[in-house]
């Protein structure tokens, strides 16, 4: 299709999913405690959210080139891309997670504390499930952003769907470029839909109507 | 018994919410903390389960300082109900009510059994137990809040304005149930409200607080109405406190005999107001036979007036008389059968006789 073999396309899509998806999960894991801190510690919230948010403004190409120097990795190492994409995910998700925790009604949190929940147990059992809708919304944005941004890594030679763009450009062929764009869009939509579905499954109480 | 020992709470911003509060809250009773908004009721209540830590002073439960126990452990032993019920929206009613038993480490089966029992006690159905809080009315949610507070069988239950968000009819119903539950379980209830009527009708003891976290008076409702400690308490208790005090006054009034008529019986014209009763002698209402006469039909009977039970307060007796079209208040026995009627004057005379 478009001068690209199906097998090759499949392999590139899997690479793309790996390079964009794993950082999303790691980024979420890092953002949860950060966002929680930002929502809990009054003086820490604004600088933490602004600070992580600023990381999103670092140009990705610059990050891909700088990270090997910082991490001591080879320029072609996947780790550079994984770390860079994790940074972008954290940049987007810290605010979202903080918003999610802030969206938990105060009286619910207080009732939980009054029942005798310890702080950590309450965060896991009460705050976190209630933050799911807000966090999931932010995660969907981060997922699409990651899928699009990871393509840039093709410029430093890390293969994924972005490689089709450089390939098409070098050969002066439209085919691979069009295929690459379409595959990216499909991947982004799939990831987005998966997160939306997961969020739905995790929030059954939001789907029950008010009694007759 | 819960004892406040010169308890002061000054918040970080310098607000003194509670100032040198000393109070002995009796065990096995309902004690109400009442006062205007911002006077420190919630702060006082929350110091009992250490949601707020006092700046100075001590709070003792049965002689034991609450600060000697780990806060979370202390809280699991004390029920807590708040205004919007504070239910967990992501958990079903059953699982909401299982919260404290589970926190106490009970196994699932035992927690479920305790929760099911508490849900039933609070007047909810098994079907409602499977719903999420958003699928219940405000009153039902409040019941869940009560069930959740009672599930593990605590000796003390704290309630912060539990009924202020429900309509007056549901509120009266929930208040009745609280009284019933409290009596059945013999628990100690500390309830916060800014509604003096609620305080007077629910409380065995009432603590009136004034702005700045001072205790203005701690007394029984009757005492509060009869002898308010100062102008603040007097005005807070309200203008009609003389009438309300009758609600706590037992008077010796013997009802006058009243001729009763059953449906179908002939009523001579000019009999005035006649009291219709059913076969068991329970009042059906009054029929106006001032200018009408004949066999009594159901359509002639109007359900006017309140009904007082024998031995009820002067307020209810008086109300029965004042609300009756014949000015004769219907008094019934414990089976609901008519004993006789009282006139307002009878009640007032009895009150006079009592005070001289
Ligand atoms: N966390 C807090 N930080 C600072 N001040 C507080 C805090 N909580 C309460 N206050 C202040 O302490 C005083 C007493 O508050 P509290 O909530 O105990 O009053 P309340 O009697 O329960 O009032 P309401 O009837 O409005 O609920 C108020 O002036 C309030 O503004
Ligand atoms: Mg309050």
pLDDT at position B90 is 93
Q: Is A156's pLDDT higher than 80?
A: no
Q: Answer whether B42 contacts ligand 1 (Cβ < 6 A).
A: yes
Per residue in A111-144, pLDDT (tens digit) is: 999 999 998 999 999 999 999 999 999 999 989 9
Q: Answer whether B171 contacts ligand 1 (Cβ < 6 A).
A: no
Assign residue A121 the CATH number of its domain. 1.10.3720.10
Using CA atoms of B50, B56, B57, B60 in order, give the dihedral in degrees to the nearest 10.
20
Helix (H, G, I), strand (E, B) or coil at A52: helix
Q: Is there a domain that residue A178 lies in?
A: yes
What is the total count of domains within chain A?
A: 1
Probe target for ligand 1 pocket from B12, B13, B15, B33, with the most ligand atoms within 8 Å of CB = B15
Q: Answer whether B14 contacts ligand 1 (Cβ < 6 A).
A: no
Residue with structure tokens 């944005």?
A141
**Better-scored residue on pLDDT, B139 or A9:** B139
| Rounded distance between C-alpha atoms, residue B148 and residue B118, angstroms | 7
Selecting from A105, A114, A209 the residue whose C-beta is nearest the C-beta of B80 gives A114
| Residue A1 burial (CB count, 10 A) | 12
Average pLDDT over residues A3-27: 83
Range in A3-12, B104-113, B156-165 with the lowest mean pLDDT = A3-12
β-bridge pairing B328-332 and B307-309? parallel
Q: Is there a domain that residue A143 lies in?
A: yes
Residues of chain B in Cβ contact (below 8 Å) with chain A: 49, 51, 72-76, 80, 82-91, 99-100, 103, 131-132, 134-137, 148, 158
| Rounded distance between C-alpha atoms, residue B36 and residue B192, angstroms | 11
Three-state SS string across B119-178, please?
HHHCCCCHHHHCCCHHHCCHHHHHHHHHHHHHCCCCCEEEEECCCCCCCHHHHHHHHHHH
Average pLDDT over residues A3-22: 81
Nearest to A101 by CA among A80, A68, A128: A128
Q: Is A210's pLDDT higher than 70?
A: no
| Rounded distance between C-alpha atoms, residue B298 and residue B180, angstroms | 35
What rounded mean pLDDT belongs to chain B?
A: 89
Average pLDDT over residues A167-172: 78
Per residue in B182-230, pLDDT (tens digit) is: 999 999 999 999 888 889 889 999 999 998 888 999 999 988 888 888 9
| Rounded distance between C-alpha atoms, residue B316 and residue B331, angstroms | 10
Domain of A160, in residue numbers: 6-207
Q: Is there a domain that residue A149 lies in?
A: yes
Selecting from A112, A126, A211 the residue whose C-beta is nearest the C-beta of B136 gives A211
* Nearest atom of ligand 1 to the alpha carbon of B13: 4
pLDDT at position A2 is 62
Average pLDDT over residues B82-104: 91
Chain B residues in contact with A107 (beta carbon < 8 A): 82-84, 86
* Nearest atom of ligand 1 to the alpha carbon of B35: 21
Q: Is there a domain that residue A147 lies in?
A: yes
> pLDDT-based confidence at A9, cuts 50/70/90?
confident
pLDDT at position B271 is 84
Probe target for ligand 1 pocket from B18, B39, B192, B196, with the most ligand atoms within 8 Å of CB = B39
> pLDDT-based confidence at A40, cuts 50/70/90?
confident
Q: Is there a domain that residue A212 lies in?
A: no
Long-range residue pairs from A65-68, CB within 8 A, at least 24 positions apart, any chain: A65/A156
ipTM of the complex: 0.80
The phi and psi torsions of A162 (rounded to 5 degrees) equal -60, -25
Q: B306 alpha carbon to ligand 1 midpoint, in Å?
A: 41
Per residue in B222-272, pLDDT (tens digit) is: 888 888 889 888 888 877 777 777 877 778 888 999 888 898 888 888 888
**Better-scored residue on pLDDT, A16 or B75:** B75
What rounded mean pLDDT belongs to chain A?
A: 85
- Longest CA span, chain B: 78
Q: Answer whether B45 contacts ligand 1 (Cβ < 6 A).
A: no
Q: Is there a domain that residue A127 lies in?
A: yes
- Of the bound ligands, which one is closest to the alpha carbon of residue B33? 1
- Structure tokens, A163: 């490689």
Return the percentage of chain A with pLDDT > 90, whole number: 33
Q: Is there a domain that residue A1 lies in?
A: no
Q: Is there a domain that residue A124 lies in?
A: yes
Q: Answer whether B240 contacts ligand 1 (Cβ < 6 A).
A: no
* Nearest atom of ligand 1 to the alpha carbon of B43: 18
Rounded to the nearest angstrom, the minimum Cα separation between B102 and chain A is: 10
Per residue in B44-62, pLDDT (tens digit) is: 999 999 999 999 999 999 9
* Nearest atom of ligand 1 to the alpha carbon of B45: 18
Q: Is there a contact between B287 and B274 (Cβ–Cβ < 8 Å)?
A: yes
Q: A203 and B100: CB-CB below 8 Å?
A: no
Q: Answer whether B46 contacts ligand 1 (Cβ < 6 A).
A: no
Chain B residues in contact with A129 (beta carbon < 8 A): 90
Q: B86 and A126: CB-CB below 8 Å?
A: no
- Structure tokens, A209: 């109507």
Three-state SS string across chain B, please?
CEEEEEEEEECCCCCEEEEEEEEEECCCCEEEEECCCCCCHHHHHHHHCCCCCCCEEEEEECCEEHHHCCHHHHHHCEEEECCCCCCCCCCCHHHHHCHHHHHCCCCHHHHHHHHHHHHHHCCCCHHHHCCCHHHCCHHHHHHHHHHHHHCCCCCEEEEECCCCCCCHHHHHHHHHHHHHHHHHHCCEEEEEECCHHHHHHHCCEEEEEECCCEEEEEECHHHHHHCCCCHHHHHHHCCCHHHHHHHHCCCCCCCECCCEEECCCEECCCCEEEEEECCCCCEEEEEEECCCCEECCHHHEECCCCEEECCCCHHHHHHHHHHCCCCEEEEECCCCCEEEEEEHHHHHHHHHHHHC
pLDDT at position A209 is 60
Nearest to B345 by CA among B226, B279, B256: B256
Q: Is there a contact between B287 and B343 (Cβ–Cβ < 8 Å)?
A: no
Probe target for ligand 1 pocket from B32, B36, B38, with the most ligand atoms within 8 Å of CB = B38
pLDDT at position A212 is 41
Q: Is A58's pLDDT higher than 50?
A: yes
């Amino acid at each position: 299709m478009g001068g690209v073999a199906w097998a090759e396309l499949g392999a590139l899509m899997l690479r793309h999913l790996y390079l964009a998806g794993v950082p999303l999960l790691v980024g979420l894991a890092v953002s949860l405690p950060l966002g929680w801190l930002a929502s809990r510690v009054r003086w820490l919230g604004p600088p933490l959210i602004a600070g992580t948010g600023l990381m999103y403004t670092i140009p990705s190409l610059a990050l891909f080139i700088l990270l090997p120097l910082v991490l001591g990795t080879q320029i072609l190492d996947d780790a550079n891309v994984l770390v860079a994409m994790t940074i972008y995910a954290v940049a987007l998700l810290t605010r979202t997670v903080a918003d999610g925790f802030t969206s938990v009604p105060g009286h619910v949190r207080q009732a939980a504390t009054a029942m005798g929940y310890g702080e950590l147990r309450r965060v896991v059992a009460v705050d976190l499930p209630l933050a799911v809708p807000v966090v999931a919304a932010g995660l969907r944005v981060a997922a699409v952003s990651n899928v699009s941004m990871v393509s840039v890594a093709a410029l430093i030679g890390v293969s994924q769907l972005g490689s089709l763009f450089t390939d098409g450009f070098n050969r002066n062929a439209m085919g691979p470029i069009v295929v690459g764009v379409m595959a990216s869009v499909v991947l982004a939509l799939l990831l987005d839909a998966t997160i939306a579905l997961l969020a739905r499954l995790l929030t059954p109480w939001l789907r029950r109507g008010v009694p007759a | 018994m819960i004892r406040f020992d010169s308890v002061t709470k000054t918040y970080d911003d310098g607000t003194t919410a509670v100032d040198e509060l000393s109070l002995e809250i009796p065990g096995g009773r309902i004690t109400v903390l009442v006062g205007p908004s911002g006077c420190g009721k919630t702060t006082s209540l929350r110091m009992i389960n250490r949601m707020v830590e006092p700046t100075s002073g001590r709070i003792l439960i049965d002689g034991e300082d609450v600060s000697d126990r780990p806060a979370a452990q202390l809280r699991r032993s004390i029920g807590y109900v708040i205004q919007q019920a504070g239910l967990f929206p992501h958990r079903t009613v059953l699982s909401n009510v299982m919260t404290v038993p589970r926190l106490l480490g009970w196994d699932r089966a035992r927690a479920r059994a305790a929760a099911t029992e508490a849900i039933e006690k609070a007047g909810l159905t098994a079907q409602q137990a499977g719903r999420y809080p958003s699928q219940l009315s405000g009153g039902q949610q409040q019941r869940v809040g009560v069930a959740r507070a009672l599930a593990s069988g605590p000796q003390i239950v704290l309630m912060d304005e539990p009924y202020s968000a429900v309509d007056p009819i549901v509120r009266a119903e929930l208040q009745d149930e609280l009284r019933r539950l409290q009596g059945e379980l013999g628990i100690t209830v500390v309830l916060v409200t800014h509604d003096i009527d609620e305080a007077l009708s629910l409380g065995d003891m009432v603590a009136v607080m004034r702005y700045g976290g001072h205790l203005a008076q701690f007394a029984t409702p009757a005492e509060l109405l009869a002898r308010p400690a100062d102008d603040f308490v007097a005005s807070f208790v309200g203008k009609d406190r003389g009438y309300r005090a009758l609600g706590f006054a037992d008077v010796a009034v013997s009802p006058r005999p009243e001729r009763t008529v059953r449906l179908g019986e002939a009523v001579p014209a000019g009999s005035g107001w006649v009291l219709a009763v059913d076969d068991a002698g329970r009042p059906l209402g009054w029929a106006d036979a001032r200018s009408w006469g004949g066999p009594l039909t159901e359509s002639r009977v109007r359900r006017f007036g309140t009904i007082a039970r024998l031995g009820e307060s002067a307020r209810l007796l008086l109300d029965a008389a004042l609300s009756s079209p014949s000015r004769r208040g219907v008094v019934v026995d414990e089976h609901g059968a008519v004993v006789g009627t009282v006139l307002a004057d009878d009640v007032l005379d009895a009150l006079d006789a009592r005070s001289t």
